[in-house]
Chain A
Amino acid sequence: MKLKKHLASVGTIAVSMALSANVAFAACATDGLPASMDGPDGYPERALTMIVPYGPAGGSGQVAQAMAQAVSDLTGVSINRDHKPGGSGAVGMTSFMATPADGYTVLEHIDDASSGHALDSSRPNPADDLIPLVTSQITFSQVYIRVEEDRFTDWASFVDWVKAQDGKATIANVSKEGSMERVTMKFITDATGMEIQQISFDKGAPRYGALAGGQVDALFEQPGDVRKFLDAGTFKPILTILKEAPEAFADVPSLTDAGLDFEPLYRFRGFYVHKDAPADRVEWLQWAFQKAYCEESYQKYNESKFMTLIESFRDTEGSRELINNTVAQYRDVYKAMGLEVK
C-alpha cells in the first residue's frame, strides 16, 4: 500500500532524527503523507471517541484537545473526548480495553503506561496490546530552582549545598513508586552521591507553588509545564536531563556537562487504537493522527509547550521502538532498585 511506504519512510526519517538536539524543524515530519485519504467503506460514519485517562486541565487533557482539534480540522470528523482520570491512568486504560475494537475509540496515554507494564506485565503493553497511531510529544526533564535563590546558583553549587544538608534538602516532583521522576532522581543521587528528600505532589499547581513559595529547595519537571515560570523569570533550570543540551537551553548543563552518566528517561504522550481493530480503519487513523501532527494548530501548540526542542514525532513503528526501549530500560532499573517486577 502507498501509505505504508510513506509511513515507513517517515518512520525512518523520524527515527534518524530521534532525540537529536539543535535540529531546525523547517519541514514537518509527516509533510510527505497524502493531503487527504478516504476512509474504507465510508468509515468513519460517526464521531470518534478519545478516552483520556487524565483530567481535561493537565498535560494529557491539553494534548488530547489539541490533537482532537487538529484531526477534526484535517478530516472533518468530530472527536469526543471522554476523560476517565484516576489510578495513574489505569481507569482510562481499563475502560478503553473494554470498548469494541471497531476503530471508533482511540486512547491517549503517556509513558506511565509503558512503565506500568514494565513493573507489572499483566498490564497492557502499549506496543503489543495496542497499536500506536502516533507519539506526538516527547520531552525531557530539568531541575529548577528559584531565580532569586541565593544559597546556590547553579548545578555544581546546588550539589555541594545539598550534600552539606545531610539529607535535609528537598525537591518537589511526582515521586510515586516506579515513576519516571523517582527513577531519574535515583540515577542522579547515585551518580552525585547526594541525598535529597523527594516531596511528591501529584498536581502541578501545588508542586510549582512549593518551589515559588520556598517550601522546597528545587523542582523536577519538564520545561513545557513550567514555561510560564521560566518566561516570567521566577524559575531557572540548573540541569537538563539529556545527554546534550538543546539549543534553547544551551547555557544549562546537560548530563554530559555535569558528569552524570546514565540514559535519560523521557516523558511521552501518544494515541492508540485496539490491536484488533480492522486493518483498513487503523491505516486511516494512522494517516489522520500522523498528518494532524503537522497541522499548524498542533505544531503551534507543541511549540508553546517546548515540545519541539527534541523530535517529538514517532509513527507507529517508531512509537513501538520507543515503548519497547522504555519498557526494557524501566525493567532493568526496577530490578536494580529491588522492586518486585511481575
Chain B
Amino acid sequence: METFNNFLGGTVALFSDPLGILIFFGGVIGGMLFGAIPGVSMLTLAAILLPFTAHLSPEHGIMLFSVIYCTGVYGGAITAILFNIPGAPENAPTAFDGYPMTKNGQAGKAVGAAVMCSALGGTVSAVIMMIATAPIANWAISAFGPPEIFALVFFGLAVASSVGAKTFWKGWLSILAGLLIAIVGLDPVGGIERWDFNMPYLLAGIHFIPTILGFFAVTEIFVQAEKKAKGSYVAPKLSVDFPTLAELIAHKVAVIRSIVIGFFCGILPGIGATLAAFMGYNEAVRWSKNPSEFGKGKLEGVISSETANNAATGAAMIPLLALGLPGGALTAMMVGVFQMHDMEPGPLVFINSADLVWVVFAAMFFANLSILFVGYLETKTIINLLRIPFQFLAPMILCLATVGAYAVRGLTIDVIVMFVAGAIGFFLRRSGYSVAGIVLGLILGRIGEQTFAQAMQMLHFEWSGFIGRPIALGLIIAGFLTLGGSIYGAFFKKV
C-alpha cells in the first residue's frame, strides 16, 4: 500500500507540473527519434542534454534521462524491422525476424508487436523496480560475479549457435568468427595489444555498431541491389495491420520468459539490454518446437527480443538507484546528472530524496506505457517509408548507416569497417553462414572474454573453482548439455 501511495505521489508530482509534463513528452519523443538512428542513438541525445540538466531540477533532470532510456531502447526496433538497421545493438536480434517479416509483407505486425512488447516488458520491469529495488540489487551483486556472468555468456552462445545459419556447423563457425573479431585490440584485463597491426585505432578493437550496420544494413542493400540488377527484386508489401490480441496471448510464454530474462540481465552491472535481447531471442529459439522457422520472419522472434530489451530498462535502474552502480552508458550519464545537483545515487537517495525516486519511477512507468500510444502513431506514419522505391531508399539507408558508423567515435575506420563487413556479409549470406552469429560472437565475446579472465583470476586459475559456485556451474552444465544436444542433432537428425 505504501508503494502504491508513493507511486501516486510521484505521478501527481510528475503531471501537476507543466514543465515536468513538457520534459516528459520531450524525452519520450526524443528517445524514440534518436533511438531509431543507428550509431547516433539515445546516448548522443543524452550526451547533448547532459550539460543542460544543470539548469533543471534534479527531479526533472533524472526523469528526462530515465524517459529517454525507456523509449530510446524501443526506438531502434523500428529501423531494425523496416530496413534491417538496428538503431542500437540491443535491437539487433529484433532484425533477425523483424526484417524478414517486412519482406513477407508483415511490417505492421512486426512493428506492432515491437510496440506492444516493448511497452509491456518495460512496464512490468518498472513495476518490479518500484516494489523491490533494494533487495534485488543486493542479491544480484552478491550472487553474480564474473564467473556467473561468464557462465551466462557461455550458455547464451551455446543456445544461439545455429541462429540464422543453414547448418549447426556454419552457425558455430559464424560465432567463432565473431569471437575472433572480438579479440582485436587491447585485451580487456591485462591491456596487452593484440591484432592491432601497429594501427592505434585498432587498439580500441572493432566496434560492434559499424559491424552491425555493415552486416545488416549494407549487406541487405547489396543483396537487394543484386536482385534489382537481375530483375528479381520484389518490393516489400506494405501493411499496417497490428498483431491481434489473440496472437499476442498465444505468445504469452515467450513474453513472460523474456521479461524474466530481460529483468535479470538488466540488474547485472555492466551487462544490460544488449545481452537481454540476445538471451531473450536465443531462449525463444531454444524452447521453440520449430526453431528452424526463426530468422525467416517469426513473430515470436520480435516479441522475445523487444520484450527482453525493454524489461532490462527498469531493472538497470535498480543497481543504479540502490547501489550507485550504473549498468550501462546511459545510466552512467544519469550518475552525472545526480552529481550536477550535488547528489549521489545509492542507498541514501531513498532516504534523502525519496520524492525524486518516486517521480522517476512514475515517469518510467508512464514512459513505457506511452510507447504504446506514441509508438502506434509513429508506426502508422513511419511504415509508409517503405513506399519509397528501392533506388531512392537504398542510398538513403547507406547515408544513414554511414553517418551512424562515423558518429560512434568520429573515426573514418569505423566507416571502412562497416563497408568491409557489408561486403563480407554479402558473400557469407550466400553460403549459408550467419551474420547474426558473427554479431552475437562479437558482442558476447567481449563480455565473455573479460569475465572469463576475471573469473580465472578470482578462482586462482583453477577450473575446479567453478564447482564451488553453483549458479556458474549450473549455467555451464546447461550450456554443455545444449551444445551436446545440438551436436547430436547435427549428426543424427536432419537439419
B-binding residues in A (CB < 8 A): 55-58, 61-62, 65, 69, 82-88, 90-91, 93-95, 167-168, 170, 175-179, 197-203, 205-206, 208-210, 212-216, 227-229, 231-232, 234, 304
Contacts and interface: CB of A to CB of B under 8 A. Distances in A.
B439 interface: no
Interface in B2-59: 47, 50-51, 54
Nearest to A228: B344
B458 A197 contact: yes
A56 B327 CA distance: 15
A94 B347 CA distance: 41
A87 B336 contact: no
B251 interface: no
B203 A87 contact: yes
Given A56-B50, A197-B460, A228 B346 contact: yes
A340 to B, nearest CB: 12
B339 interface: yes
A83 B345 contact: no
A215 B458 contact: yes
Contacts of B191: 88, 176-179
B112 interface: no
A232 B454 contact: no
Contacts of A93: 200
Contacts of B171: none
Contact of B457 (A58, A61, A199, A214): A199
**Which of A86, A176, A214 neighbours the largest number of chain B CB atoms within 10 Å of its CB?**
A86
Contacts of B333: 56-57
A88 B192 CA distance: 11
Nearest to A300: B342
Interface string B331-360: 011011001001011111000000000000
Nearest to B148: A215
Contact of A228 (B200, B319, B324, B329): B324
A58 B335 CA distance: 10
B82 to A, nearest CB: 29
B185 A86 contact: yes
B224 to A, nearest CB: 33
Nearest to A82: B410
Nearest to A49: B410
B263 to A, nearest CB: 17
Interface of B: 47, 50-51, 54, 138, 140-146, 185-186, 188-192, 200-201, 203-205, 269-270, 319, 323-327, 329, 332-333, 335-336, 339, 342, 344-348, 409-411, 450, 453-454, 457-458, 460
Contacts of A167: 460
Contacts of B336: 56-57, 61-62, 65
Contacts of B344: 227-228, 231-232
B409 A201 contact: no
A62 B340 CA distance: 10
Main secondary structure of the interface of A (DSSP, over half): mixed
A215 B329 contact: no
23 contacts: A56-B329, A61-B336, A65-B51, A65-B336, A69-B54, A85-B204, A85-B409, A87-B200, A90-B200, A91-B201, A91-B409, A95-B410, A197-B457, A200-B188, A200-B454, A208-B323, A209-B323, A215-B141, A216-B458, A229-B324, A231-B348, A232-B347, A234-B323
Contacts of A84: 409-411
Nearest to A123: B200
Given A57-B335, A95-B411, A232-B347, A176 B325 contact: no
A63 to B, nearest CB: 11
Given A90-B203, A94-B201, A232-B347, A205 B457 contact: no
A203 B457 contact: no
Nearest to B461: A197
Contact of A205 (B54, B143, B325): B325
B410 A88 contact: no
A312 to B, nearest CB: 17
Contact of A202 (B188, B269, B325): B188
Given A57-B332, A177-B192, A212-B141, 12 more contacts: A56-B336, A58-B332, A69-B54, A87-B204, A95-B411, A175-B190, A176-B186, A200-B453, A205-B270, A205-B319, A213-B143, A232-B348
Contacts of B51: 65, 69
A303 to B, nearest CB: 10
Contacts of B458: 170, 197, 199, 215-216
Nearest to B324: A228
A83 B442 CA distance: 22
A205 B186 contact: no
Contacts of B411: 84, 91, 95
Nearest to B345: A228
Contacts of A95: 410-411
A94 B335 CA distance: 29
Given A203-B270, A208-B324, A210-B145, A88 B335 contact: no
B145 A91 contact: no
